[in-house]
Amino acid sequence: MKTIDDYNFEGKKALIRVDFNVPLDAEQHVTDTTRIEAAKPTIIKVLEDGGSAVLMSHLGRPKGHRVPEMSLRHICDEVSEIIGVQVKFVEDCIGEKAVSAANNLKSGEILLLENLRYYNEETSGDPGFAEQLAALGDIYVNDAFGTAHRAHASTTIVARFFPGNKCFGYLLAKEIEAIDKVMSSGEKPVTAILGGAKVSSKITIIENILDKVDHLIIGGGMTYTFIKAKGGSIGDSICEDDKLDLALDILRKAEAKGVEIHMPTDVLAADAFSNDANTQVVPVGSIPDGWQGLDAGPATLEQFKKVILSSKTILWNGPVGVFEMETFAKGTIALGNYIHEATTNGAFSLVGGGDSVAAVKQFGFQDKVSYVSTGGGAMLESLEGKTLPGIAAILS
């Protein structure tokens, strides 16, 4: 696996695919700089070698149109401040303006190209568009894990034009290593915590990781599909009635493979989907009609704690309750604390995929786990065992 450390960028222009698809407020100010900060080490390495950096990214979904609110110009000052170098901006990503700006770049300088998705050729993976992007650099660096599952021009096709001169940036290399630790090289026992609302969105992940893990903790809304399948009463809790047979099949497969499944034994139930609802702790299979399970109960959390603290490798994907409401956030916060304790004791912990990352940020666990993935869809597809096109393009 070639990384940025395998190259000296002195006198070279690095064409770096970053993921600067950051959230903006109504005034186009960046509200979360995580992705920009994550790209900093790669950019600094290029500059310190004596090279220059041409950064390309998308922002939002302009669908081939020049949507002013989605211009990367809006984030240029924020990128400059975080990197510590005044970033130059060019209002196109191909064509004369882009070529001229790239050609005039001196060692130690950074150029940010305009939004790649102003062109439909980016998302369609157009080779001609990719070739024009390739003309802007000497070495191609992919550091955008968040888009590595897309066979787009800037993430995959462009790599064809850099035979022998392409590599992973620090961020993408870290993501690959973190997933590898969970999926193949991690110290046992390995525990996967899968939460969230639907079994259907996790089927492929569950089936792929059953050969890799020793313990599987199932929490969140999808608990109730499993409990109903086993004959429990779940009241008005969320449930996928068409997945009951699948849930039982998953439990059978896990047992056959020697994987221990851990599910809630009690839950915090509410008489409405509201932060101000009446609540009671009830056994998970005895939720009264008119009530719904919205968080893990105290006995469940004690059970989960024992499993997590005995683990050496931990994957956390999905909350165990409706953490967006304070009343039902306690279970997810407790889970974060257990994972933090296990990590402090030497375990490797990876958090990835949508809501679990949001929960980690909301409750301040970013620095209390080993690694927080920057890619939602890319992370999930990796856990499903798929080869991501953006990664394959560098390895080929």
Q: Which residues are annotated as a binding site for ATP?
A: 202, 293, 324, 353-356
* pLDDT attached to residue 304: 98
Boundary (domain end) residue, out of 172, 195, 227: 172
- Domain check: are 142 and 251 in the same one? no
Query: For position 249, what pLDDT does the model report?
Result: 95
Q: Rounded distance, CA 390 to CA 386, Å? A: 12
Q: Determine how many CB atoms are found less than 10 A away from the CB of residue 156.
A: 25
Say whether pLDDT at 218 is over 90. yes
User: Which residues are annotated binding-site positions?
Assistant: 19-21, 35, 58-61, 117, 150, 202, 293, 324, 353-356
**121-176 tens-digit pLDDT:** 999 999 999 999 999 999 999 999 989 999 999 999 999 999 999 999 999 999 99
284 and 204, same structural domain? yes
169 close to 293: Cβ distance less than 8 angstroms: no
Give DSSP secondary structure letters for 43-60. Answer: HHHHHHHT-EEEEE---S
Token couple for 145: 């894990």
Q: Are residues 282 and 151 in the same domain?
A: no
Task: Determine the Cα–Cα distance for residues 287 and 283; give it in Å rounded to an integer.
Answer: 7
DSSP letters spanning 152-196: -TTTTGGGGG-TT-EEE-HHHHHHHHHHHIIIIIPPSSEEEEE-S
Q: What percent of the chain has pLDDT over 70?
A: 100
Chain-centre distance for alpha carbon 37:
15
Q: Tokens for 84, please give them.
A: 């510590």
> What mean pLDDT is reported for the chain?
95
**One of 73, 354, 361, 385 is an active-site residue; which one?**
354
Cis peptide before 189 (omega within 30 of 0): yes
Q: What are the φ/ψ torsions at residue 194 (nearest 5 degrees)? A: -115, 120
CATH number for 68: 3.40.50.1260
Annotated active-site residue 198? The verdict is: yes
Q: State yes or no: is 290 an active-site residue.
A: no
pLDDT digits (tens, 9 = 90+) for 299-329: 999 999 999 999 999 999 989 999 999 999 9
| Confidence (pLDDT) at 375 | 79
- Whether 168 maps to a domain, the answer reads yes
- Looking only at the bridges linking them, the beta strands covering 166-168 and 215-218 are unpaired
Q: Is 228 a catalytic residue?
A: no
The domain boundary, picked from 172, 207, 238, lies at 172
- Closest-CA residue to 297 (of 280, 318, 312, 314): 280
The tokens for 368 are 């209390």
Compute CA distances 51 → 41, 44, 87, 133, 164, whole Å. 14, 10, 14, 18, 18
- Mean pLDDT to the nearest integer, 227-252: 96
Residue ranges of the binding site for substrate: 19-21, 35, 58-61, 117, 150
Task: Please give the residue range of the domain that contains residue 229.
Answer: 186-383
Co-location of 254 and 278 in the same domain: yes
Measured between alpha carbons, how far is 233 from 286 in angstroms, rounded to an integer?
Answer: 5
Domain membership flag for residue 350 = yes
Instruction: Categorize the per-residue pLDDT at 377 as very low, low, confident or very high, splitting at 50, 70 and 90.
Output: confident
Query: Mind listing the pLDDT tens digit for each residue in 353-365?
Result: 767 888 888 899 9
What does the alpha-carbon distance between residue 313 and residue 336 come to, in Å, rounded to a whole number? 14
Partnered with residue 15 across adjacent β-strands are 54, 140
> Residue 109 half-sphere exposure, CB side, CA atoms within 13 Å?
12
Q: Is the pTM of this model over 0.75?
A: yes
Query: Is the model's pLDDT at 338 over the cut of 70?
Result: yes
Indicate which residue of 35, 88, 212, 243 is catalytic. 35
In this prediction, residue 353 carries a pLDDT of: 74
SS3 letters for 306-340?
A: HHHHCCCEEEEECCCCCCCCHHHCHHHHHHHHHHH
The reply to whether 9 and 124 lie within a common domain is: yes
Which of 2, 73, 198, 253 does the annotation list as catalytic? Answer: 198
For CA atoms 340, 258, 199, 144, give the dihedral sign: positive
The CA distance from 172 to 188, in Å, is 25
| pLDDT for the residue numbered 334 | 97
106, with CB counted inside 10 A (0-12, 13-18, 19+), is exposed
139 plus 16 within the same structural domain: yes
Annotated active-site residue in 64, 108, 232, 377 = 377
